[in-house]
Amino acid sequence: MSARTSLSASRPDVAVLGGGLSGRLLAWQLIRASARVALYERGDADGSSAAGWVAAAMLAPLAEAAVAEPSIVEMGALGLERWPGIIDTLPEHVFFQRNGTLVVWHQPDRAEAVMFDRRMRANAPPELLRGGVERIAGAQLKDVEPALAGRFQEGWLLPNEGQLDNRQLLRALAAGLEMAGAELHWHTEIAEGAYPDAGLVIDCRGLGAREALTQLRGVRGEVVRIHAPGIGLRRPVRLLHPRYPIYIAPKENDLYVIGATELESEDMSPMTVRSALELLSAAHSLNPAFGEARIVELNVNCRPALPDHLPRVQWDGARLLRVNGLYRHGYLLAPAVTAEACALAQALMQTTGAPAIGNFSNKAGNPAGNAFDWEAWRAGRPWPDLFRQA
Ligand X SMILES: Cc1cc2nc3c(=O)[nH]c(=O)nc-3n(C[C@H](O)[C@H](O)[C@H](O)COP(=O)(O)OP(=O)(O)OC[C@H]3O[C@@H](n4cnc5c(N)ncnc54)[C@H](O)[C@@H]3O)c2cc1C
Residue 85 exposed, middle or buried by CB count within 10 Å (0-12, 13-18, 19+) = exposed
Question: How near is the Cβ of 102 to ligand X at its closest, in Å?
Answer: 15
Q: Give the helix/strand (H/E) hosting 219.
A: strand 217-227
Under the binding rule (CB under 6 A), the answer on residue 217 touching ligand X is no
Angle of helix 166-179 relative to helix 21-32, nearest 10 degrees, comes to: 40
Q: How far is the CB of 96 from ligand X (least distance, A)?
A: 13
Question: What's the min distance (Å) between Cβ of 372 and ligand X?
Answer: 25
11, 43, 244, 271: residue in contact with ligand X (rule CB under 6 A): 43
Return the residues of window 45-64 that contact ligand X according to CB under 6 A: 47, 49-52, 54-58
Question: Residue 14 burial by CB count (10 A; 0-12/13-18/19+): exposed, middle or buried?
Answer: buried
- Going by their DSSP bridges, the two strands 387-389 and 312-315 should be labelled as parallel
- 101 is a site residue for ligand X (CB under 6 A): no
Minimum distance from residue 371 beta carbon to ligand X (Å): 30
Output 66 or 223, the one with its CB closest to ligand X: 223
Q: Is residue 97 at the binding interface for ligand X, with CB under 6 A as the rule?
A: no
Please pick, from the candidates 117, 134, 178, 189, the single residue that binds ligand X as defined by CB under 6 A. Answer: 189
Angle between helices 21-32 and 330-352 (to 10 degrees): 40
Ordered alpha helix ranges (H), the chain: 21-32, 51-54, 61-65, 70-88, 110-123, 126-129, 141-144, 166-179, 273-286, 330-352, 374-379
Count interface residues toward ligand X (CB under 6 A). Answer: 42
Interface residue with ligand X, options 12, 23, 132, 358 (CB under 6 A): 23
Alpha carbon distance 47, 28 (integer Å): 15
Instruction: Restricting to residues 332-371, name those near ligand X by CB under 6 A.
Output: 332
Interface residues with ligand X (CB under 6 A) are: 17-23, 40-43, 47, 49-52, 54-58, 189-190, 204-206, 208, 221, 223, 259-260, 301, 303-304, 324, 326-332
